[in-house]
Amino acid sequence: MRFPRSCGTLLHPTSFPSKYGMGDLGDEAKEFIHFLERTGQTIWQVLPLGPTGYGNSPYASYSAFAGNPYLISLDKLVQKDLLTEAEVKKAELPVTTVADYEGSYQIKDELYKIACKRFYGDQKGGKSKHFKQFKENNKFWLDDYCMFMACSIENDRRPWNQWDKGLAQRDKKVMAEFRKSHTEEIDYYNWIQFEFFSQWFDLKMYANQKGIRVVGDIPIFVDHNSADVWSNPGYFAVDKQGNRQLVAGVPPDYFSETGQLWGNPLYNWKALKKDNFSWWVERFRQMFDLFDSIRVDHFRGFDEYWEVNAAETTAINGKWVKAPGKALFNTIKKELGELPIIAEDLGLMTPTVEELRDEFNFPGMKIIQFAFDSDSTNSFLPHNYPQNCVTYTGTHDNDTTIGWYNQAPEQEKHRVREYTRSDASEIEWELIRLGMLSVADQAIFPLQDFMGLDTQHRMNLPATVGNNWMWRYTTSMLYNIDEDRIRALVELANRKQGDNEG
């Protein structure tokens, strides 16, 4: 699919300002959409929206289908008369540029239980046609997810392969008894998902009405401790007890000398193909409902993936194994039609990966921060771009542009100054300008670069644990952005809202 010439901002909802410890889907999200509209931008890109586990990484989720409950806006629950202003007032936390996940989880867990009780009780929401329709529309994954979460809580959040055998291996009799004795907990998780998706679709519709396309993100792999692996173990490289046998990662690269050992169980592609890739079709079907287009993380893994034995402690001792990417995307296209996909094709690409990307006309990604470590043939330099690509100054995995430049080797700094014909005193704007004026159909920039922020505002440092995914901005930081400068660049680069649709 070809996308219109356009531009936008990369920002995860957890980074919105909020009185409740972390960003959510409330009014501050709409204020950000207003910022995009005022500056002529037409793209908002987010990270995965699933429920996160330890470490709060959007790429390690309890489900490939469910939404993150902690993105639910408490203020919107007040508007629905599910909470009172006095109740949420007591839950307020200091507004800083660092997310207080633990504090937020604690206060929201308490308030969600109150809201849920009112939903099923006072409002009789459990009998509403909207709630019933939601459950029917999402029956492919919802029942299993709600059961998984109830079981997880009952087992002190231990990984599912450490539960009692009956639950871990989904014995029908044990499952039925558990469901009967934990109806209230299962109902709670049904309501949580109903509320998340209600708020998300309201926000997406608001963005679309303002001319903003929302770009989602689909991680190629799922977490081992997830409803997906628990409910479909035959689709994954796990043994009969649910223990991982083969796991995912990448070999040594730009980000890590020992590679990255992600630990996600690899797919049993033979079993998936036998079922006509039904699990993947349903996953993409939902993503195309949630977003206007999606970035497919680690696109190379659909052509070949790095296979590591689960007993390894690093990703060094692995091997590349072929994946059925062409057959998969042909099936998805046959079932769902047009594929509005962006391929995350960073790292070492092979001719077969590029062939897979180009066969389906997926735009790849060009990171400007990667452009200056070699000569003029570097594919990340804007003069070497194809038109069908998406350019970024950096992504959530990169430092901010100011932080990157400050720590870059002197030779790279020299190349930057030479290429931009500047003294790099406003390096973030120099790279934004390069992206805006490039031939790339889409240009997307992290909000931190529009704000001119340094390394301490970085979102994620790959291959590290702790202090990631925590960055937030304050309301005043958004208002202090030079919107006139952005709008002028948008117009100069012919990326103006509405001018290039069709």
**Active site positions, annotated:** 297, 344, 397
Provide the H-helix boundaries in 183-244. Answer: 183-209, 227-231
Interatomic CA distance for residues 16 and 416, integer angstroms: 32
Strand, helix or coil at 429?
helix
Residue written as token pair 């889907």: 25
CA-nearest of 107, 81, 84 to 94 is 107
Strand, helix or coil at 452?
coil
Query: Which tokens hold the place of 294?
Result: 């999606």
Query: Which tokens hold the place of 368?
Result: 């400007």
The DSSP output letter for 234 is: G
Interatomic CA distance for residues 172 and 154, integer angstroms: 18
Interatomic CA distance for residues 297 and 70, integer angstroms: 23
CA-nearest of 215, 345, 335, 362 to 280 is 335
Going along 124-268, which residue ranges are E strands? Answer: 213-218, 246-250, 260-265
CB 295 within 8 A of CB 344: yes
Query: Which tokens hold the place of 8?
Result: 């936008």
Strand, helix or coil at 488?
helix
Interatomic CA distance for residues 343 and 301, integer angstroms: 11
Q: What is the 3-state secondary structure (H, E, C) of 73-103?
A: CHHHHHHCCCCCHHHHHCCCCCCCCECCHHH
CA-nearest of 273, 295, 293 to 336 is 293
**Residue type at position 496:** K
Q: Which residues are 98's β-sheet partners? A: 471
Interatomic CA distance for residues 490 and 269, integer angstroms: 44
Our measurement of the distance from residue 346's CA atom to the centroid of its chain's CA atoms, rounded to an integer in Å, reads 16
CB 187 within 8 A of CB 143: no
Neighbours of 390 (CB within 10 A): 28
Length of the chain: 502
Query: Which tokens hold the place of 326?
Result: 């062409």
